[in-house]
Chains A and B, each alone.
Chain A
């Protein structure tokens, strides 16, 4: 059998065309972005980061291009990026991954620059602690967030509660939620995203911490879930769930409704993050709501989870000097006030909490102050212990609240967290 010559010609032509296309498109891509800095930001930090980056771009000749990475893919992207030497010049990510990234050697050492920077000295201690590894500094607070408790003042009023008196203990949350639930079949007293590990370490764990508990072990010899706070909070949540004070879809909510449901105006009380303030003002400007600290078991006990993003420079950044200049710039009064505070985002320098932009809204000041009462765990394997979809943390919450086995859930989680910490 003779093979027709035309066919092999066609194959050759196709191959050549394909090769030309590939080479062409690579060249195009390289040229187009050569003069710009690239910055990755996780999805939930995009809004805040964009304000800062826009401000920087408006008065600097070196432009930064922001790329949003889905929250759950940030670790993977950065880890594979560093190993493949395909990294952005700057990266803004969930501060909780700092210990893992610093230990793995992914980030540029910024000790000299930051220690010499007068603005850095006034950055919130939590951000300095989480970015310190073996005495060296690897990042700075970028777009802070902190957990708070919000309550719907209109619903409080309708339920006969004092709209200006938020619950000051977990017990009061329970009592207030009962009264609000009585308002109607589609009005609920309380909400939490029952299948979202991250949402709950952010909003539920501070209630336990406020009551004197410690959640995560730093290593295999350290204890997990200590004290009575864990049990007391879980018991209250369990009761609220079994009494129907929480919407049924909370059990399956893996975070999709975390920020949207309170805005519907059908929820009385919810633990959330400072980010919600800007969202509410934008989406439902007429909503009448209040902000307070997340309470513990007794009056006066308060806490929060200091979260948000840190900014760092991945090893392999092609514009190291400009990237460092950006980090120094983002700590200046200009960036903190005009980039963040002006847009209802908290500055990472608490001293700037009292500013002209926040003065109009005491709720933002409360949120800014929450950073001062908050905690952030410096642990490795945070994803394994907390953020993973099968983590001991989320399993404990679900087993305790939805199955009702509080003691069994805590015992199991305690052991599993210790096992992970020993790895």
Chain B
């Protein structure tokens, strides 16, 4: 009994710094966020307690719901692209031959660039007059004349999707490669002995055995997309007419452009809850499918 207690206290000691870190840098700000969300505090100072007024206002804020719907669309379209492409690249570059290793490095390189830098890079690559991307498409006869990418919400959306795919796809690929490589080679060999083709091995052996890493990566990627901000801030500025505002961008607009810190905090709380619910749902669904 005594030994168990001492081991327990030793355990607490070990996780103590991490707990302290989480408390100071996550829980305290989160608590402050919730408190601020109940006030009409301005970025310029002041503010009084207003109860749930901010939350009632969110309910009537059509712009927020439109931004949230746009963010959901972005997440729903981008996540499968990133996961599918990442997984395909992982399968293609699985073996540790020099060429495949080089390919992996090249695909992974954009991941280490800052998101703002890569967004700025793509902003100019996609420019109508000096952008190389348009020139490439015109030279390849895929376009008749250069297009202005950020002129409509749909085009701007795809411009961002292209840039983010380039930027992030290597991250999923690397995780998938490590996941696939950790599969016991005996299992793959057994499948080969049983006459399984490459496709049935990939579909029936490799895919099920990497389901956990797939879930984790999907979750991280989806949450990242739900919190998208930099790429839209730099590439679209929410234009045209606020149609490419994401949820976080709308929070930024309210908090830092309109100075409504209280309302911005309430929006943040709502977004956090929405992401929490969806993450829980996603985990629960996958766990259930694993159980059956």
Contact status B258-A383, CB under 8 Å: yes
Task: Specify which chain A residues have a CB less than 8 angstroms from the CB of B256 in the assembled complex.
Answer: 75-76
Contact of B253 among A75, A80, A252, A389 (CB under 8 A): A389
Interface residue count for A (Cβ, 8 Å)?
A: 36
Task: Specify which chain B residues have a CB less than 8 angstroms from the CB of A8 in the assembled complex.
Answer: 14
Given A384-B257, A384-B258, A395:B45 Cβ within 8 A: no
B210 at the interface (CB under 8 A from A): no
The closest CB in chain B to the CB of A1 belongs to: B7
Q: Select the stretch in A53-61, A85-93, A100-108, A289-297 that faces chain B.
A: A100-108
The closest CB in chain B to the CB of A103 belongs to: B44
B151 at the interface (CB under 8 A from A): yes
The closest CB in chain A to the CB of B239 belongs to: A195
B279 at the interface (CB under 8 A from A): no
Contact of B63 among A387, A390, A399 (CB under 8 A): A390
B165 at the interface (CB under 8 A from A): no
Contact status B151-A252, CB under 8 Å: yes
Contact status B148-A395, CB under 8 Å: no
Contact of A251 among B14, B148, B245 (CB under 8 A): B148
Task: Specify which chain B residues have a CB less than 8 angstroms from the CB of A387 in the assembled complex.
Answer: 257
A44 at the interface (CB under 8 A from B): no
Secondary structure type dominating chain B contacts: loop
Chain B interface residue count: which class?
20 to 34
B241 at the interface (CB under 8 A from A): yes
Contact status A252-B240, CB under 8 Å: yes
Task: Specify which chain A residues have a CB less than 8 angstroms from the CB of B237 in the assembled complex.
Answer: 195, 254, 389
B176 at the interface (CB under 8 A from A): no
Q: How far is B241's CA from A274's CA once the two chains are assembled, in angstroms? A: 28
Task: Specify which chain B residues have a CB less than 8 angstroms from the CB of A33 in the assembled complex.
Answer: none
Task: Specify which chain B residues have a CB less than 8 angstroms from the CB of A80 in the assembled complex.
Answer: 43
Contact status A388-B241, CB under 8 Å: no
Contact status A389-B151, CB under 8 Å: no
Q: How far is B45's CA from A387's CA once the two chains are assembled, in angstroms? A: 21
Interface members, chain A 336-387 (any B CB < 8 Å):
381, 383-384, 387
Contact of A105 among B17, B45, B253, B258 (CB under 8 A): B45
Given A15-B17, A390-B245, A195:B148 Cβ within 8 A: no
| Apart from A79-B259, A383-B257, A394-B241, 18 more pairs, CB < 8 Å | A3-B10, A76-B43, A80-B43, A100-B259, A104-B42, A104-B46, A106-B44, A248-B151, A249-B128, A251-B240, A252-B156, A252-B240, A388-B257, A389-B238, A389-B239, A389-B242, A390-B245, A395-B241
Chain B residues with CB under 8 Å of chain A are: 10, 14, 17, 42-46, 63, 123, 127-129, 148-151, 156, 237-242, 245, 253, 256-259
Chain A residues with CB under 8 Å of chain B are: 3, 8, 11, 15, 75-76, 79-80, 82-83, 100-101, 103-106, 195, 247-249, 251-252, 254, 256-257, 381, 383-384, 387-390, 394-395, 398-399
Could you name 29 residue pairs across A and B whose Cβ atoms are closer than 8 Å?
A3-B10, A75-B257, A75-B259, A76-B256, A79-B44, A80-B43, A83-B45, A100-B44, A100-B259, A104-B42, A106-B44, A195-B150, A195-B237, A249-B128, A252-B149, A252-B156, A252-B239, A254-B150, A254-B237, A256-B123, A383-B259, A387-B257, A388-B253, A388-B258, A389-B238, A389-B239, A389-B253, A395-B242, A398-B240
3 nearest A-B residue pairs (beta carbon):
A390-B242, A104-B44, A252-B150
